[in-house]
């Protein structure tokens, strides 16, 4: 009888041990599932936050600071901008004045840094035209932008991702095949290589 009881007790213990292992495995699976669920929820939350930040950026890109808007109306009375956007740390207002499309750039304090407008190669100082025709004769002019600096604001302007000192200047985009470059032309006709466009 003792042998039967001992066998029965051993069987119960082994069964209980096997059941415990099954329960532990199930718990581990649940924890794994919980972990996967937690990771998925965290990933979705991060995606949601990123999308929120993108949306905020889109909204900010189409808005300007109150100070910039007020300054624009003082600087260009009677003119309404067709678009505001945030670019290179400036509020940029695009507008039309005297039939020409222009952009005005305002700093963090809402003060005018300068304006840009499209020009032609013929608008460049004559000495610069001759120099470019000789030195870059294999290139074709694609665009000419005139930057008119606000001398009353010490903030430097950024053009083509590079900051330059306060001065009225032309920026000339030239192309030769796939090679696109920008030249910086000063008002006295000096021509400097500025950057490559990619």
Helix, strand, coil percentages in the chain from 3-state DSSP, rounded to 5: 40, 35, 25
Return the structure tokens found at 111.
């003060």
HSE, CB side, 13 Å, CA atoms: give it for residue 69. Answer: 10
pLDDT tens digits along 125-155: 999 999 999 999 999 999 999 999 999 999 9
- Does pLDDT of 115 surpass 70? yes
Contact yes or no for 144/125 (Cβ under 8 A): no
- Does pLDDT of 7 surpass 50? no
The whole-chain average pLDDT of the chain stands at: 82
Q: What pLDDT, on a 0 to 100 scale, did the predictor assign at position 28? A: 57
Break the chain into its structural domains and give their ranges.
1-61, 66-197
Lookup result for tokens 């507008």: 95
Cα separation values, 113 from 53, 89, 91, 150, 168, Å:
28, 11, 10, 5, 11
pLDDT tens digits along 18-34: 554 544 455 455 555 55
The residue with greater pLDDT, 192 or 1, is 192
Percent of the chain having pLDDT more than 90?
61
What is the domain class of 66-197 according to CATH?
A: alpha beta
Q: What pLDDT, on a 0 to 100 scale, did the predictor assign at position 48? A: 66
Nearest to 190 by CA among 170, 175, 174: 170
CA distance 106 to 192: 26
SS3 string, 40-94, reads: HHHHHHHHHHHHHHHHHHHHHHCCCCHHHHHHHHHHCCCCCCCEEEEECCEEEEE
Which of 24-33, 54-63, 153-162 holds the top average pLDDT? Answer: 153-162
- Does pLDDT of 97 surpass 60? yes
32 SS3 class:
helix
């Amino acid at each position: 009888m003792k042998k039967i009881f001992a066998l029965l007790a051993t069987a119960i213990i082994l069964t209980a041990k096997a059941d415990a292992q099954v329960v532990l495995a199930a718990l581990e699976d649940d924890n794994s599932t919980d972990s996967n669920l937690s990771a998925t929820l965290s990933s979705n939350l991060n995606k949601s936050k990123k999308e929120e930040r993108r949306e905020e950026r889109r909204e900010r890109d189409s808005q300007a600071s109150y100070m910039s808007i007020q300054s624009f109306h003082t600087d260009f009375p009677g003119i309404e901008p067709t678009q505001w956007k945030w670019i290179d740390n400036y509020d940029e207002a695009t507008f039309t004045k005297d039939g020409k499309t222009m952009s005005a750039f305002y700093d963090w304090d809402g003060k005018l840094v300068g304006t840009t407008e499209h020009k032609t190669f013929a608008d460049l100082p004559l000495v610069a035209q001759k120099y470019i025709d000789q030195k870059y004769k294999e290139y074709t002019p694609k665009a000419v932008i005139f930057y008119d600096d606000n001398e009353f604001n010490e903030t430097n302007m950024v053009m083509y991702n590079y900051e330059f000192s306060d001065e009225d200047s032309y920026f000339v985009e030239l192309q030769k095949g796939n090679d696109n470059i920008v030249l910086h032309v000063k008002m006295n006709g000096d021509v400097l290589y500025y950057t490559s466009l990619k």
